[in-house]
Amino acid sequence: MKKLSILIGAMMLILFVVGCSNTAASSEGDISIEDTEITQSRLNEESSMPESEKESENNMIETEKAPKLVYFGHASICIITEDDKVIYVDPYEEGDYSLAADLVLVTHDHFDHNQIDKIENKNDDCKIITQDDALVNGEYMTFELPFVTAEAVEAGNNPNHDINSCVGYVLTFKNGKSVYISGDTSTTDQMDKLHDKNIDYAFFCCDGVFNMDNEEAAMCAETVGAKHNIPYHNETANGKLLDKEKADSWSAPNKIIIMPGESINIE
């Protein structure tokens, strides 16, 4: 009789524990069940998805991180790529150059574009490309690096910037996005061809003193046809890193204004 009582007690205890577990599960149930349904739905979708689509989706996940562009002001730019490589363009007085450089690009040899000495921290394999490397015997060079393709393009004007010793750059990143950096220039013959590159972000100098003014720069922006147009190097007389009022009045299509110290994702 005593054994029977113990057996009955044990069975009641088991039933009590199971009941408590079911109650606890139902109290958390909405979120857990919803998550399970989403997971199962995704699994079902993946199981019926062609292999090519699976690979495409996986690649999108792998390259989700976009390059980050930081505008230092005047013509100085820093770009941190998807794989954390650091590119400096036209180093000048302002800007934080503490990140170790992997690539330094210079458009021409004027003091407000070529202060490479500001970049004291460089990785051992850092590559420095100046206008002399980028324009050789009249040929504009392209540099294929693991983290970016840097293509030199035409830049210059008379009498301030000799077209034979100035360049701009088109940078194309691993995510397929591209940035055009005009350098100091006026309208060039090559800008028509840049339109065919479907550029994503384009920087146009427009100080109206040593380079084209707002009106001409807006016409160049229409010619190049980038998805986003950004004014830079628009003030030289008063030492400003960017003239906000002049930038606001720039009539280029698809305009973005980036103030010194601000950043955008290249996506």
Which tens digits make up the pLDDT trace of 87-129? 999 999 878 999 999 999 999 999 999 999 999 999 999 999 9
CA-based torsion, 115, 119, 124, 125: positive or negative: negative
Question: What's the pTM?
Answer: 0.76
Q: What is the pLDDT of residue 26?
A: 37
**Res 15: pLDDT:** 44
- Give the model confidence (pLDDT) of 145-166 as tens digits: 999 999 999 999 999 999 999 9
Among positive and negative, which fits the CA dihedral 161, 258, 229, 101? positive
- What pLDDT, on the 0 to 100 scale, is given for residue 95? 87
Q: Which domains does the chain have, with CATH numbers?
A: 32-62 (no CATH), 63-257 (3.60.15.10)
Q: Quick one: average pLDDT of 55-69?
A: 62
Percentage of the chain beyond pLDDT 90 is 73
**pLDDT(12) > 70:** no
9 vs 202, which has greater pLDDT?
202
Phi, psi at 96, each rounded to 5°: -100, 110
Predicted confidence (pLDDT) per residue in 171-230, tens digit? 999 999 999 999 999 999 999 999 999 999 999 999 999 999 999 999 999 999 999 999
- Range of weakest confidence among 51-55, 69-73, 78-82: 51-55
